[in-house]
Chain A
Amino acid sequence: MKKVYGSASEALDGLLFDGMLIAAGGFGLCGIPELLIDGIVESGVKDLTVASNNAGVDGFGLGKLLDTRQIRKMMSSYVGENAEFMRQYLSGELELEFNPQGTLAERMRAGGCGIPGFYTKTGVGTVIAEGKEVKSFRGEDYILEEGIFADLSIVKAWKADETGNLVFRKTARNFNPPAAMCGKVCVAEVEEIVPLGSLDPDKIHLPGIYVHRLIQGEHEKRIEQRTVRKREEA
């Protein structure tokens, strides 16, 4: 079964439809599927719900899909870095469902593992608990959160082999594995597709069973907050 495709548009062909739920990997601008986002922009698909920890910045990452008004709803934990996002949200054009970051990650992981719901202490007694079932375990209250079952996952990894085994790099791993797991179909983009057998099987971060289509390409990898220290301080 061929998993490697020539471009984002080819890899996304036949997978996109209006109103679909897409799970996207990345934290801030770190480890985001830049090329697949561009491919979705080009496709013109609309009314998307996107589960992603953040919403990019103006003109980059998921910010591109906000600029084109292709996103109807975001499921995120933090969206502070995007003026166009705030404009659309405050004017009522864009729906927003806040999820605590760990709850969002676990909802993706759970969906990918066939778990429709789980109980967590996170958010008990806060607005996040409103309308959710509360259950007591060992004398403590927990709220019911639902697994996310996405129509499509888009993720970014460092290296892959042609069977879709993925290796991530440093903190660019973040939401990519759980996002990849929760989609009916997962498309991954990587910096390098390496020959079969050259990845150490003991060092695969996400097995290829979760990855259905694969592209390789150049990434801008923009830095959101460049913080440095001076050499003389060392």
Chain B
Amino acid sequence: MPWDRNQMAARAAEELEDGMYVNLGIGIPTLVANYVGDKDITLQSENGMLGMGPFPFEGEEDPDLINAGKQTITELRRTSYFDSATSFGMIRGGKIAAAILGAMEVAENGDLANWMIPGKLVKGMGGAMDLVAGVGRVVVVMDHTNKHGDSKVLRECTLPLTGKGVVDRIITNLGVLDVVEGGLKIVETADGVTEEELRAATEATIV
């Protein structure tokens, strides 16, 4: 059985180490916060906050306290606030250890596409280009194939890039792959998924 969304998030949480400052993208990456366990992880929200807490209880929403997805959130005892230039200064400056992000396509050289589909409504890249260019390690979490069954793990991206050669590790419903010299290396397969099945669903070169 391939991993479901929560299993993928749980696997991604294993990437995080005690003491890390981390930025989580929207979608499955947001679920990663549910699986960090006892590890001391500080979440960054790029609109200007370190130490992002859970959603507020009903009636305690504060319009001055939102995350990068514009959702109401809460602060923690460790929380600090800062402006957007400082926030992206710490991102661009490599102070954020890792970003866990969703993707539309990833290529074997680490190219990432996750912000625009030509001909469709373009909403913008937000902070994604800054994050992938700046943080220490980029982990992509996504389904291995699209809804037509085509591989999203490609030799070359077909969509406009978010970053060139920026991805370190790919976690999909079928397994875990690392970007290495010459292509992708299988790190592990999801429970019940064979290496042959993973290879068959992957267009990229596996070394």
List residues of chain A with CB under 8 Å of any chain B CB.
27-31, 53, 76-81, 86, 98, 100-106, 108-109, 120-128, 158, 168-178, 205, 221-231, 234
Contacts and interface: CB of A to CB of B under 8 A. Distances in A.
B124 A77 contact: yes
A29 B72 CA distance: 12
A175 B127 CA distance: 13
A222 B70 CA distance: 11
A230 to B, nearest CB: 7
A78 B126 contact: yes
A125 B64 contact: no
B27 interface: no
Contacts of B59: 228
Contacts of A31: 64
Contacts of A169: 64
Contacts, number: 183
A100 to B, nearest CB: 4
A31 B81 CA distance: 13
A173 B164 contact: no
A167 to B, nearest CB: 11
Q: Which of A108, A158, A174, A205 has the most CB of B within 10 A?
A: A174
A101 B64 contact: no
A223 B61 contact: yes
A225 B130 CA distance: 24
A77 B125 contact: yes
Interface residues of B, number: 54
22 contacts: A30-B63, A30-B64, A79-B123, A80-B121, A100-B126, A102-B89, A103-B129, A105-B88, A125-B165, A126-B160, A126-B161, A126-B162, A127-B160, A128-B125, A158-B64, A170-B75, A170-B81, A172-B63, A173-B83, A225-B66, A227-B56, A228-B58
B47 A174 contact: yes
Nearest to B130: A102
Contacts of A205: 83
Interface in B100-150: 111, 121-130, 133-134
8 pairs of A and B residues whose beta carbons are closest in the complex: A102-B88, A125-B164, A80-B123, A102-B130, A78-B124, A105-B84, A101-B127, A221-B63
A192 to B, nearest CB: 14
A171 B55 contact: no
A109 B83 CA distance: 10
